[in-house]
Structure 1
Amino acid sequence: MNDILSYLLIEPPEPATLDSVEAWWRRHVELVSRFPAPADLALAGGFRSDRLGYAFASGYHAAHRFLFPTLAADRPTALCATEPSGAHPSAIQTGLSPAGSGWTLTGEKTFVTLGSFAELLLVVASEGQDTQGRNRLRMVCVDAKRPGLRVTELPELPFVPEVPHAELRLEDVAVSSDEVLPGDGYTRYLKPFRTVEDCHVQLALLGWLLQVGRRCGWPDSTREELLALAIMMRGLAQADPSSAATHVALGGALARVKHTVTQCEPLWAQVDATTRERWERDRRLLDVAGKVRAKRLESARLKLSGAEARDDG
């Protein structure tokens, strides 16, 4: 932990201008060898970003490093879950069917973060239903240039427009058996990813705010509070993402981060105009999936109290 603490406190807070997603990725990959722990990578990636969008991208990719540690660190990846009817397990219609000694993938994904930039796609697919009629999901890792796979870039979002999103269509895409990841696609990957992503994106946000605070002369007390929150979130990022206790603690941590971000509001007057204007545009990102987080926290509280919790899928 001392390495990342020193980095956040001593590294010059002057990020290079990142004028493209390719430039962000080169900078992110440079940090992987120094910070192999995904939580530290998220913090460092956020600190080295010149805007919230690229900080988010580093946190998102660090979350992949946590859940999929065997994937190549120098190849950008994207998780492909959301379909026309949503991302709930019952909404997944993309099919994984046996074909000879391997499989084929057929279906569509409607919103894939970094989808048009990724080289590897992590596709959630159904291999049929169990005896209770529930989808049996698997996670499949497939090269983005595989025949039968078409990626279409979506229009820019009104916030963090630098981060590309895409639609994905798969038509009888050939998949080898070793590209189907072990374990249940929902319980082992998709469900915990939501928690893992929250932790690592928050870490990247805090790393970025520490850099802005140091660069723009925010008070020592504010920077120290941001650092303390980063260490707290770092611990949660390494906890069991399927644990109700983790979700309750994360609920409290997210509330503390939100409170501190609000308290920092007057300090943005000290920040250069470009960074300040981007922040005003992009801060909406922090409220995305707020209802999902609230439902997850409610379910965790119920579970810990011994009551029957609703499925947060």
Structure 2
Amino acid sequence: MNDVLEYLLTAPIAEAAPADLDQAWARHAALTEPFRSPVDRAIAGGFAADRLGFAFLSGYQEALRQLLPEVAGAELIAVSATEEGGAHPAAIRTVLEPAGDGWIVRGTKTFTTIGEYARWLVVVAATGAVVDGRHQLRAVLVEAGQPGVTVTNRPPLPMAPEIPHATVLFEDAVARPLPGDGYADFLKPFRTVEDVHVLAATLGWLVRVGRTAGWPQPELQRLLAAVAMVRGLDLDRPDSPGVHIALGGIFAEFARLLEQSEPLWQQTDAVTRDRWERDRALLATAGRVRAKRLETAWRRVAAAAE
């Protein structure tokens, strides 16, 4: 079956809980194989997840596959961008340098999601060039298991502790540059693409919760309507003001949906309900940045209309 809406309503619900992140990803890979688009795989992967953290994993991975189809595969990938001063171009101190016939990276990334489990790291590094007052960045692909890469786990976060984060030290690690500008063509659009796919996976997971707990049909209808809205976004143009404005509307509808469904959580089992209360803050972590992108999108629309 490759109709993801029908799949959400009729597919069997896997009951066995994954033992760890690797098992959660293996389940995602097995159950989402029939679906062609990354957003549909994120939705189906969220439905396969037994908790919000593993739904996030599905969305995060499929966002990378949407933006970087050339690195798509069965192995886990992680974005390694954030440094001590953040992930803005001016804060990037990790450097990319030529070495023989190839390239190497050197520096420290302070917050790499699933760093411990990733086979490949997409590292954002500075080239040393400055154009129009801005550091030029490249996104490069680095194999995590090579000798020049040291991954050190950070303490688990209070929310979604199943998803680890790490500090990663690069010491002349061999790297393969990816096409385009590391900020404009990767890091900036990735934040939007990630928002879309994580929301898609969350909605898939909520359908699973609702079906398991016997939520009423009107609630499942609202969830599927939100899924359809997410699927309708044009992710070939993630920098479009229209995409940001539409996504802002979808998030507003999603917030209302969560508020309306609040009483229904009393019908869910205690473990699922307690995890939801623990992990729901995960959905708000990018809210401030998303609000700024929405303001910028409206300003761009206003400027174009003048």
State the TM-score, normalizing by the size of structure 1: 0.94
Matches of 2:131 and 2:10, distance apart in 1: 57
Which position in structure 2 is the counterpart of 1:17?
17
Matches of 1:259 and 1:302, distance apart in 2: 25
Q: Helix, strand or coil: the match of 2:150?
A: strand
2:25 counterpart of 1:28: no
Matches of 2:132 and 2:192, distance apart in 1: 27
Alignment match of 2:290 (pick from 290, 293, 300): 293
Matches of 2:287 and 2:16, distance apart in 1: 32
Q: Helix, strand or coil: the match of 2:170?
A: strand
Matches of 2:60 and 2:173, distance apart in 1: 26
Letter of the 2:301 partner, please give it. L
Matches of 2:57 and 2:284, distance apart in 1: 16
Output aligned runs, 1:1-313, within 5 Å.
Answer: 3-175=3-175, 179-236=176-233, 238-306=235-303
Matches of 2:68 and 2:227, distance apart in 1: 23
Residue 83 of structure 1: how far off its partner (Å): 0.3
Letter of the 1:76 partner, please give it. L
Q: Helix, strand or coil: the match of 2:69?
A: coil
Q: Helix, strand or coil: the match of 1:122?
A: strand
The alpha-carbon distance between structure 1 residues 263 and 239, as it changes in their structure 2 partners (threshold 3 A), is: farther
The alpha-carbon distance between structure 1 residues 11 and 237, as it changes in their structure 2 partners (threshold 3 A), is: farther
Matches of 1:141 and 1:261, distance apart in 2: 38
Matches of 2:93 and 2:149, distance apart in 1: 16
Matches of 1:158 and 1:164, distance apart in 2: 11
Letter of the 1:10 partner, please give it. T
Matches of 1:131 and 1:165, distance apart in 2: 32
Matches of 1:238 and 1:103, distance apart in 2: 31
Letter of the 2:128 partner, please give it. G
Runs of at least 5 residues in structure 2 that lack an aligned partner in the other structure: none
Residue 182 of structure 1: how far off its partner (Å): 1.1
Q: Which moved more, 1:93-102 or 1:222-231?
A: 93-102
Matches of 1:239 and 1:228, distance apart in 2: 22
Residue 2 of structure 1: how far off its partner (Å): 5.8
Q: Which moved more, 1:11-20 or 1:104-113?
A: 11-20
Residue 200 of structure 1: how far off its partner (Å): 0.3
Work out whether residues 93 and 107 of structure 2, in 8 Å CA contact, stay in contact via their aligned partners in 1.
yes
Q: How many residue pairs are counted as aligned between the two chains?
A: 305
Q: Helix, strand or coil: the match of 1:142?
A: strand
Residue 72 of structure 1: how far off its partner (Å): 4.0
Letter of the 1:138 partner, please give it. R
Deviations 1:238-281 (A, max 9, x none): 35101011101111111101110111100000000000000000
Matches of 2:14 and 2:146, distance apart in 1: 40
Work out whether residues 124 and 138 of structure 1, in 8 Å CA contact, stay in contact via their aligned partners in 2.
yes
Deviations 1:169-214 (A, max 9, x none): 0111123xxx211111111111000000000000000000001101
Q: Helix, strand or coil: the match of 1:242?
A: coil
Identity of aligned residues (%): 52
Work out whether residues 31 and 45 of structure 1, in 8 Å CA contact, stay in contact via their aligned partners in 2.
yes
Letter of the 2:165 partner, please give it. H
Work out whether residues 20 and 162 of structure 1, in 8 Å CA contact, stay in contact via their aligned partners in 2.
yes
Runs of 4+ in 1 over 3 A off after TM superposition: none
Q: Helix, strand or coil: the match of 1:236?
A: coil
Q: Helix, strand or coil: the match of 1:39?
A: helix
Work out whether residues 81 and 87 of structure 1, in 8 Å CA contact, stay in contact via their aligned partners in 2.
yes
Over the aligned positions, Cα root-mean-square deviation in angstroms equals: 1.5
Work out whether residues 39 and 237 of structure 1, in 8 Å CA contact, stay in contact via their aligned partners in 2.
no
Matches of 1:296 and 1:7, distance apart in 2: 33
